[in-house]
Structure 1
Amino acid sequence: MSRIYGDPIEVWTREDDPVRFVWRDRLYVVRRVLDHWVTSREWWKIADSDPGERRFWRVEASPGGQAGTYELRYDTASEGWLLLRAWD
């Protein structure tokens, strides 16, 4: 079962892939990237001329104990990261 969050997170990357992130004051270490995809933002819904991209990662990560699956998103226009979803 997955839960949807949409919480802002702080992320450290290596070669554009997330390697660790802080969510709700806990540090998670990414054990492996399960999937990665990119979507273009809808240019007609935003005011500026550069619509940017949204980059998604589904990762296996852990705050030190048992690993879980998390979906992270990076928005190139806002340069912000979100934790979108977590699986039990």
Structure 2
Amino acid sequence: MSRLYGDPIEVWTRDGQPVQFVWHDRLHAVRQVLDQWVVAREWWKTSERDPGERRFWRVEADPGGRLGTYELRFDTAGEDWLLMRAWD
């Protein structure tokens, strides 16, 4: 079962891929990227300087002994990371 969150998170990346993130004061080490995709913003909300993409990753991560699945989102407009969804 999945839960929706939309919580801000701090993410470390390597070669553009998330490798770890902090959520609820716990460090989650990404073990595997399961899927990734890009969603373009509506054309009227973009500009040449800011194409306004949202990049998503579904990852398996370990917050210390229990592997879980998480959906992360990076918004290129504000350079913000959010944890969108988590699976038990």
Which band: TM-score by shorter chain? over 0.9
Which residue number corresponds to residue 82 of structure 2?
A: 82
Once the two structures are superposed, the pairs formed by residues 32-71 of structure 1 within 5 Å of their partners are: 32-44=32-44, 46=45, 49=47, 50-71=50-71
Residue 74 of structure 1 aligns to a residue whose secondary structure is strand
Supply the AA of the counterpart residue of 1:29.
A
Q: Identity over aligned residues, as a percent?
A: 76
Query: Which structure 2 segments of 5+ residues have no match?
Result: none
Give the partner amino acid of 1:53: E
**What's the counterpart of residue 3 of structure 1?**
3
The two structures, once aligned, show a CA RMSD in angstroms of 1.0
TM-score, with structure 1 as normaliser: 0.93
Q: Which amino acid aligns with 2:10?
A: E
Normalising by structure 2, we get a TM-score of 0.93
One-letter amino acid of the structure 2 residue matched with residue 86 of structure 1: A
In the TM superposition, structure 1's runs of 4+ consecutive aligned residues that sit over 3 Å from their partners are none
